[in-house]
Amino acid sequence: MCGNECINANAKYCGECIQAGAKCGWCKDPGFLKQGETVSTRCDEMESLIKRGCDKGMIENPRGEQRTLKNKAVTHRRKGADKLKPEDITQIQPQKLSLTLRSGEPQSFDLKFKRAEDYPIDLYYLMDLSYSMKDDLENVKNLGTSLMLEMSKITSDFKIGFGSFVEKTVMPYISTTPAKLLNPCTGDQNCTSPFSYKNVLRLTSDGKKFNTLVGQQHISGNLDSPEGGFDAIMQVAVCGEQIGWRNVTRLLVFSTDAGFHFAGDGKLGGIVLPNDGKCHLENNVYTMSHYYDYPSIAHLVQKLSDNNIQTIFAVTEEFQPVYQLPDDIPVQEIATFILLSLGFWQSLSSEVILENSKLPEGLTIAYISRCKNGVVSEGENGRKCSNISIGDEVTFSISVTSKGCPKKGKSETIKIKPLGFTEEVEITLNFICECECHKDGVKNSPLCHFGNGTYECGACKCNEKRVGRQCECSSNDVATEDMDRTCRKDNGTDICSNNGDCVCGTCECKKRDNPEERYSGQYCECDNFNCDRSGNKLCGGHGRCECRVCVCDPMWTGSACDCSLDNSTCMASNKQICNGRGTCECGMCKCTDPKFQGPTCETCPTCPGVCIEHKECVQCRAFGTGEKKDKCEKDCSYFNLIKVKDRDKLPQPNDASYPLMHCKERDANDCWFYYTYAVNNNTEKEVHVVDTLDCPTGPDIIPIVAGVVAGIVLIGLALLLIWKLLMIIHDRREFAKFEKEKMNAKWDTGENPIYKSAVTTVVNPKYEGK
């Protein structure tokens, strides 16, 4: 199922319900369940229960809580101030809490940690004296003598102890011949007898004594390369009284130049008993090395952690990788002999890591660290903070969550502490496993069919082998034919309408994957999800589905509750219903005048003046011109614009199912543009416009010039011809007049006395007249 966790839990009683999840509540109203609904439907999310009709006061939904029982502030002190006892120094706050946990509901609190200045330190120095350490012995001795000086710079309350180890005193780890037991070294070298572990010096503040004893150490010898150092570490960890550990910061420096034996290696010497993790020092010597095997790494980790001991491996560079055990040794550090300087010791405790004791099954803890410089980490990194100097304060947010009811509701105590520190936070856990109304339950109640169950939280919690809402049936009789007959509607063949199971003669309806969907009814014949829909919403989103019929909210009606009885949406701007030109039906106007459209019958696409009203907006949107081109987007976005190629593509009145108006308008350039305006069936204003303007064409210059020139020439020629014709007529009239006057004239024939002939006749004397 993909429903919520409350529905999926199929809870039979209130306690089981609240364990399903933090959001789950239980309706204890006795009359809450509808016919056919199972008892488990009382368990649901709070909002769903209220929506289904359960009063908020009848819902059981207990919440967890937390109380701080001890909250001593962290200590603020400086080196050189008045000394305090270790138990009076506080580095972690709070110290004791009580958490009441509800399943799935986390309880969170902040844990504060501050490294106290001048905090007491115990340091135990464990030295490998096997023969392989011969070359490094002087470095190791120098290291031991420098430890006292360096640590005194960090704290004024410092104690140091010293121990050494070689190997188990059995074959094949050492030679057991009498001579080799006295001097395991070869040649003329004088070595000390082999041993497993010696506590040479109990923790002391006497630095001179420590330096003397370290300087007096001599090499011993063994046969194999790995050493028995883990035996020594185990004894140092568990022999607190002999070592002298105080309840302060405990450091163990382990120096060697070889690997280590661990659990199972003892079989080579016939040792099969596992290490018992107990102290076996007699006269400061480990006496059971031949009896118990080496400890395992996990066993060693447990003992070091239980005793708050931080381990520092001071090894040669060659063996540093061997001791890289980041997840096994608590707060371990690895360094070569020459690197254990003041800076190393100061940085050793600069990382704070929180660890918790073993958790009960079903309990989880999440950490968020808030370290220096605003660094925030989660997950595994949320357990620790690095680069913490003395006096620095960091905070961890810790969230504790339970699942179900761990430990059957019994109180449990867990502890959280910084790794390697003795201080801790003690947390008492109490679990909410039952509802408050559980206390008022009536065992063997007559309400549960003659006492066959406990009546609690509004429902019967049936006794073993009893079923039914009132525990009225035995679990052995739930599937008989007689009982099935009462689960068939109208004596049909379908049991519980195929939507449920017949339990004890009563239909218990099936659950749906969707927790909001339910079957109900005596025969599970009803449901709340098969009603009419509108706008893809059940009952139009304005009602609820009951037995496949919509029950509409006030002011809504119709089979799908999609018809509004509110007339305010039909009110026109003139305060008339549908502008007085229609009727309001289901919150929408139905216009009775076919010329009018729109949600309130105020739009008339074919009325005079429509074209002029929309001219400027059509012009600016289609062509980017006109008076409104600068504010076109603001003023002219009220219609949908559709461009077409030519006038033939414009919609025609006969083609449209709604009225439209054809418009022809002229712009400032005397260009015509054509468009239609209409309000479509979806009450959307729609404009179709031809995307090209119809502008008058300009004159053709060449023909005009040619025509003008030709006209001038022709006119000139015509004028010359007329002038010539007039001159000819005029000359002919003058000549005719002259002829007429000539004929009418009378001339005198007498000689002029003064006339002399201009002709002179000369005769050639020699002319003979031939």
Is 398 a domain residue? yes
Q: Residues 345, 239: one domain?
A: yes
Is 39 a domain residue? yes
Q: Residues 310, 424: one domain?
A: no
pLDDT computed for residue 339 by the predictor: 45
Is 12 a domain residue? yes
The helix/strand/coil state of 597 is: strand
Q: Residues 50, 143: one domain?
A: no
**Which of 335, 352, 369 is where one domain is finished?**
352
Q: How far apart are CA 296 and CA 319, in angstroms?
A: 19
Could you tell me which residues are beta bridge partners of residue 495?
488
Q: Residues 45, 194: one domain?
A: no
Is 505 a domain residue? no
Q: Which CATH number covers residue 101?
A: 2.60.40.1510
Q: Residues 282, 319: one domain?
A: yes
Q: Residues 109, 234: one domain?
A: no
Is 601 a domain residue? no
**Which of 400, 431, 462 is where one domain is finished?**
431
The total domain count for the chain is 5
Is 519 a domain residue? no
Q: Residues 335, 403: one domain?
A: no
Pick from 682, 593, 688: nearest CA to 649: 688
Q: Which CATH number covers residue 11?
A: 3.30.1680.10
Could you tell me which residues are beta bridge partners of residue 65?
100
Q: Residues 8, 35: one domain?
A: yes
Tokens 């009063």, residue located: 55
Backbone angles phi, psi at 484, to 5 degrees: -65, -30
Q: Which CATH number covers residue 666?
A: 4.10.1240.30
pLDDT computed for residue 338 by the predictor: 43
Q: Which CATH number covers residue 234?
A: 3.40.50.410
Residues in the chain, pLDDT under 50:
1, 326-332, 337-339, 341-343
Is 718 a domain residue? no
Q: Which CATH number covers residue 539?
A: 2.10.25.10
Q: Residues 348, 377: one domain?
A: no
pLDDT computed for residue 284 by the predictor: 92
Is 335 a domain residue? yes
Pick from 195, 219, 196, 199: nearest CA to 141: 219
Domain with 550 in it: 533-564
CB environment 373-394: b (16+ within 10 A), e (fewer): eeeebeeeebbbbbebebeeeb
174 and 180 Cβ atoms separated by less than 8 Å: yes
Q: Residues 93, 235: one domain?
A: no
638 burial via Cβ count (<10 Å: 0-12, 13-18, 19+): exposed
**Which of 431, 456, 479 is where one domain is finished?**
431
Q: Residues 2, 141: one domain?
A: no
Q: How far apart are CA 394 and CA 111, in angstroms?
A: 9
Q: Residues 162, 251: one domain?
A: yes
Sheet holding 640-644, edge to edge: 640-644, 685-690, 672-679, 660-666
Give the DSSP H or E segment for 485.
Answer: helix 481-485
